[in-house]
Amino acid sequence: MNTTTSEHEAPDAEEATVPKEATVPEDGAREHSEHEHPSDWDYVKIALILAVITAVEVFTYFESVYDWGSLLIPSLLIMMVVKFWLVATWFMHLKFDNPIFSKMFVGGLLLAVGVYVAALAAFEFWA
């Protein structure tokens, strides 16, 4: 309030006042400063892991090279979940951000999984 008063009382003081307020970080900047972000090299390492997993996934397609048998579908699903988790936690920063974002996303995800597993069961998908 005093700041506003001084702006009206002395127009020349505006310039001095504005930068003072401008130094207050926005929400985003404040959140960024709350935690340490990974380095670029950390991101590259995550991307390399993702690339390797994708290569293994594609490798499962070539049954003539190696037959995964009954392990095929569980292996594919595990690799999918690991990739999903890596992107969500590292690239989407869920690992470093406020936990409410994780709850928001996981909430929607679990709701979707629950609803559609129920829907698929109702249509006897696994029968």
Partner 1 sequence: MTTETSAPVASDADTAAAALVAPGDSNDHGPTTGISNTKLAMWLFLGSECLLFGGLISTYLLYKTRRGPDNLAIPTDVFDIPFTSISSFVLLMSSLTMVLALAALTRGDNHGARVWLLATSMLGGVFIGGQVYEFTSFLREGVGFTNNPASSAFYALTGFHGVHVSLGIVMLMSLFVASWQGKLRQEHSETVEIVGLYWHFVDVVWIFIFTVIYLVPA
Distances in Å between the alpha carbon of 75 and those of 48, 57, 66, 68, 122? 19, 8, 13, 9, 26
CB-based contact 79:59 (threshold 8 Å): no
Q: How far apart are alpha carbons 49 and 55 in whole angstroms?
A: 10
77 touches partner 1 (CB under 8 A): yes
Q: Which of 58, 64, 65, 70 binds partner 1 (CB under 8 A)?
A: 58
The angle that helices 72-86 and 40-61 make with each other, rounded to 10 degrees, is 160
Q: Which of 10, 13, 16, 104 binds partner 1 (CB under 8 A)?
A: 104
Q: How far apart are alpha carbons 82 and 52 in whole angstroms?
A: 12
57 touches partner 1 (CB under 8 A): yes
Q: Which of 52, 54, 67, 71 binds partner 1 (CB under 8 A)?
A: 54
Torsion of CA 12, 17, 20, 25, to 10 degrees: -130
43 touches partner 1 (CB under 8 A): yes
80 touches partner 1 (CB under 8 A): yes
50 touches partner 1 (CB under 8 A): yes
Q: Which residues sit at the interface with partner 1, rule CB under 8 A?
A: 1-2, 4-5, 7-9, 11, 14, 17-18, 21-22, 24-29, 31-32, 37, 40, 43-44, 46-47, 50-51, 54, 57-58, 60-61, 72-73, 76-77, 79-80, 83-84, 87-88, 90-93, 98, 100-101, 104-105, 107-109, 111-113, 115-116, 119-120, 123, 125
